[in-house]
Amino acid sequence: MATLNEEIQRRRTFAIISHPDAGKTTLTEKLLLFGGAIHIAGAVKSNKIKKTATSDWMEIEKQRGISVATSVMGFNYGDYKINILDTPGHQDFAEDTYRTLTAVDSVIIVVDVAKGVEQQTRKLMEVCRMRNTPVIIFVNKLDREGRDPFEILDELEAELKIKVRPLSWPINIGAKFKGVYNIYENSLDLFTPDKQKVSERVEIDDVNDPRVDEAVGETDASKLREDLELIEGVYPEFDVEEYLAGQTAPVFFGSALNTFGVKELLDCFVKIAPSPRPVSTVEREVRPDEPAFSGFVFKIHANMDPNHRSCIAFVKVCSGRFERNANYKHIRSGKMMKFSSPTAFMAQKKNIVDEAFPGDIVGIPDTGNFKIGDTLTEGENIHFKGLPSFSPEMFKYIENTDPMKSKQLEKGIQQLMDEGVAQLFVNQFNGRKIIGTVGQLQFEVIQYRLLHEYGAQCRWEPISLYKACWIESDDEDALAAFKKRKHQFMAVDREGRDVFLADSNYVLQMAQTDFPKIRFHFSSEF
């Protein structure tokens, strides 16, 4: 039996983030391939192969080739237990990604060598910086024409505002791409384009070994030696402590589609990436090696299995040992709960687990007891923090188009809102339901899922709103006066909190000036 501490030390829980199309889902697949979790790498966008990517299993994702829901996958690699959280790269689902980043200990950022750093990646990096999350960067698609590696490194430093240190280096790029020199382990990996096999490795003592010339030719070998000298001159020695503090990002080069450079990334990652770290709660800091179990819900997913109308709450284990059928306290409701069938995920394959350790993600069947951010403990009253809902930027009225199915629509909206995909406001003036999201694509996803998972049809009607903001005041008369004056623009959210729907920036500024005793909030954590 491994002790709690040994279990914690072998866990690596991380998220893979990137701009759409940088190759994130492909990289996730290849990591699973090395972990023996899948045996054939499926091409996501090819119609010839009917096996779609293991991590994109929602219908709408298969059609569009984008990841919409964050999926969770665990596998063993050598002595390590690895938990990957694959996040949506599409910006309309940024909120889901922000939340996922609260449940991981480190991050791998995928960057396309031709396109460099894109806007979405910058935003996500800000979230990592806020939490000092350690990042490793994987520069992908080296088998295609792209930019000079040194140029990419400069751009990474400037755009992501972090120091970088290459731990592998490409020999040529695009059509002439010959392989990667692994600086971290002093070895040479030769490239053969093959989606199923791993390329060959030449064992050498150092870069001046004559076998390098034999393998890649004299011209490329001398260019490689020059590049490496330059790297040693420009970049300081790689310091693991700086990486763990979130100040330096190691950089690897490769081609995920051709399974190249991925193993180097994984081998270095398991050695240097942090095992589960302490997590702060409102009351105190929780250390992973505390004996008592604690964890929080960072995501709720409706309909993991279309045949069963069930939700699953994803719980990140923060401390102690989670056990099946043990009694745990649900802090928000104060109730004790038992879970008879907690699951762990290998992509879509769920297995019932008897125990889980810090860093693990456990799926708990949910019949409406959980909300995002809920805490579970062995009895101690603590509240994990840092799961905000941001003020939405797009709004539409949602209307039922089939009066016979209004119950299904109600249930569907409720479950999808529990997932935190979007936010629901009920207008106090006319009782109509308003859905607020951060991106246009979300409306399509909601409509699609209501129809295909709940059999309910809805249509969207336009509403012109600028911002929804939560309001509160210590002065009850001032609050009442505000609500009376703005009664056409008042709504309540699902928690019953007052929300002011401003139809323009001007109206919002006027309201803030005219009612100094009211506080306006743009995120639900206040």
The structure tokens listed for 513 are 């000036």
Angle at 150 between CA 265 and CA 217, to 5 degrees: 75
Region(s) of the chain under CATH 3.30.70.3280? 394-521
DSSP 501: E
Phi, psi for residue 445 in degrees, rounded to 5: -65, -45
C-alpha distances out from residue 263 to 136, 141, 190, Å = 14, 15, 13
Q: Which residues pair with 458 in a beta bridge?
A: 400
Q: Element (H or E) spanning 322, and its range?
A: strand 322-323
Question: What is the fold of 394-521?
Answer: Alpha-Beta Plaits (3.30.70)
Region(s) of the chain under CATH 3.40.50.300? 16-66+91-96+106-272, 279-377
Angle of the 119-130 helix axis to the 149-160 helix axis, nearest 10: 50
β-strand pairing of 285-286 with 279-280: antiparallel
Q: For residue 416, which of 440, 388, 441, 445 has the smallest C-alpha distance?
A: 445
**Backbone dihedral region of 249: left (phi > 0), alpha (psi from -120 to 50 degrees) or beta?**
beta
3-state secondary structure of 139: strand
Q: What local confidence, expressed as pLDDT, does residue 349 receive? A: 61
Q: What is the rounded distance in angstroms from the CA atom of residue 5 to the CA atom of residue 288?
A: 9
Q: What is the rounded distance in angstroms from the CA atom of residue 367 to the CA atom of residue 376?
A: 16
Contacts of 215 (CB under 8 A, 6+ apart): 178, 179, 188, 190, 202, 221
Q: What is the rounded distance in angstroms from the CA atom of residue 91 to the CA atom of residue 324?
A: 37
CATH of 16-66+91-96+106-272, one of 3.90.1720.10, 3.40.50.1220, 1.20.1560.10, 3.40.50.300: 3.40.50.300
Asked if residue 298 lies in contact with residue 102, where contact means CB atoms within 8 angstroms, the answer is yes
The structure tokens listed for 327 are 């009694």
Q: What local confidence, expressed as pLDDT, does residue 46 receive? A: 37
Q: What local confidence, expressed as pLDDT, does residue 48 receive? A: 35
Q: Could you name the CATH architecture of 279-377?
A: 3-Layer(aba) Sandwich (3.40)
The 10 Å Cβ neighbour count of residue 122 is: 13
Interval 31-70: pLDDT, tens: 877 776 554 444 333 333 334 455 554 555 555 554 444 4
Q: What local confidence, expressed as pLDDT, does residue 397 receive? A: 92
Interval 193-237: pLDDT, tens: 555 555 566 666 666 666 777 767 777 777 888 888 888 888 888
Asked if residue 124 lies in contact with residue 17, where contact means CB atoms within 8 angstroms, the answer is yes
Contacts of 236 (CB under 8 A, 6+ apart): 165
Asked if residue 145 lies in contact with residue 255, where contact means CB atoms within 8 angstroms, the answer is no
Phi, psi for residue 382 in degrees, rounded to 5: -130, 160
Phi, psi for residue 174 in degrees, rounded to 5: 70, -135
Q: What local confidence, expressed as pLDDT, does residue 303 receive? A: 58
Q: What local confidence, expressed as pLDDT, does residue 398 receive? A: 92
Q: For residue 201, which of 221, 225, 176, 181 has the smallest C-alpha distance?
A: 181
Contacts of 114 (CB under 8 A, 6+ apart): 141, 144, 145, 146, 147
The structure tokens listed for 383 are 């509240």
> What is the C-alpha end-to-end distance of the chain, expressed in Å?
44
Q: pLDDT tens digits, the chain, 526 residues: what are they?
A: 568 888 889 899 888 888 777 777 788 878 877 776 554 444 333 333 334 455 554 555 555 554 444 477 888 888 888 888 877 655 555 566 677 778 888 999 999 888 888 877 887 787 788 778 899 999 988 888 878 888 889 999 998 888 999 888 888 777 777 778 787 877 777 776 555 555 566 666 666 666 777 767 777 777 888 888 888 888 888 888 999 888 899 999 888 888 788 888 888 899 989 989 888 888 888 899 899 999 988 887 765 555 555 678 888 899 999 998 899 999 888 899 998 888 886 544 667 888 889 988 888 888 778 887 888 999 888 887 755 566 777 899 999 988 888 899 998 888 888 777 788 999 988 889 999 887 777 888 888 888 888 889 999 999 888 888 889 889 999 999 999 998 889 999 888 889 999 988 899 999 999 999 999 887 766 4
The structure tokens listed for 183 are 């600086």
Burial of 330 (0-12, 13-18, 19+ CB in 10 A): middle
Burial of 272 (0-12, 13-18, 19+ CB in 10 A): middle
